[in-house]
Amino acid sequence: MRTATIERKTKETEISATVNLDGTGVSDISTGIGFLDHMLEQIARHALIDLTVKAKGDLHIDFHHTTEDTGIVIGEAVHKALGDRAGITRFGEACVPLDESLTRVVLDFSGRPYLVWKVNFTRQKLGEMDTELFKEWFQAFSQSAEMALHVENFYGENSHHIVETCFKALAQALKKAVTIDPRKAGAVPSTKGVLGGSL
């Protein structure tokens, strides 16, 4: 089983995350930010990744540190669970609709982190959460997981729907990318013979 646990403690946040890339979509999420919990549950369910996240942060200031650091820790856990990435499909792509909204996510576990974010929201806040923080989460996640990650919302009116399609499309693309391809016979999917800058 490809599993990993990462713990991170700073003066701003204290976070632990455990991932099982070969799970069934079970999640136990508690960040103190209800909407973020809901989005992380979407990743677990639709990527079939078991995910446990416990976070305590300086929410009395704002949600920025907890949101960003949660992305860092989950990304690091995925990176560690992948190991040398031998045998994985490596690439993933998904288009996900939710009512009037449609978003595409394309990713590559290349070891070269990069985020392309083409998402605009119709509102500045969802409940108490600033919508600009979702880019921060995706940025932190892509950097720590060492992946190139492209997120493009084609259209949508409801900000809740727009962000939910981003997370669900990420989940579907992740599921494809981390899947072991039996035809690769355990080989690292790169002509270089290695993926990941820290591996």
pLDDT in tens, 104-156: 999 999 999 999 999 999 999 998 999 999 999 999 999 999 999 999 999 99
State the Cα–Cα distance between residues 16 and 66, nearest whole angstrom. Answer: 12
State the Cα–Cα distance between residues 46 and 25, nearest whole angstrom. Answer: 7
20's tokens: 């099982």
State the Cα–Cα distance between residues 57 and 86, nearest whole angstrom. Answer: 35
In degrees and rounded to multiples of 5, residue 22 shows phi and psi of: -110, 35
User: Residue 199: pLDDT band by 50, 70, 90 thresholds?
Assistant: very low
* pLDDT, tens digit (0-9, with 9 covering 90-100), for 40-52: 999 999 999 999 9
Does the pLDDT of residue 198 top 50, yes or no? no
The 3-class secondary structure across the chain, one letter per residue, is CCEEEEEEECCCEEEEEEEECCCCCCEEEECCCHHHHHHHHHHHHHHCCEEEEEEEECCCCCCHHHHHHHHHHHHHHHHHHHCCCCCECCEEEEEEEECCEEEEEEEECCCCCEEEEECCCCCCEECCEECCHHHHHHHHHHHHHCCEEEEEEEECCCHHHHHHHHHHHHHHHHHHHHCECHHHCCCCCCCCCCCCCCC
Does the pLDDT of residue 196 top 70, yes or no? no
Count of CB atoms situated within 10 Å of the CB of 120: 10
Domains of the chain (ranges, CATH numbers): 3-184 (3.30.230.40)
* pLDDT, tens digit (0-9, with 9 covering 90-100), for 29-42: 999 999 999 999 99
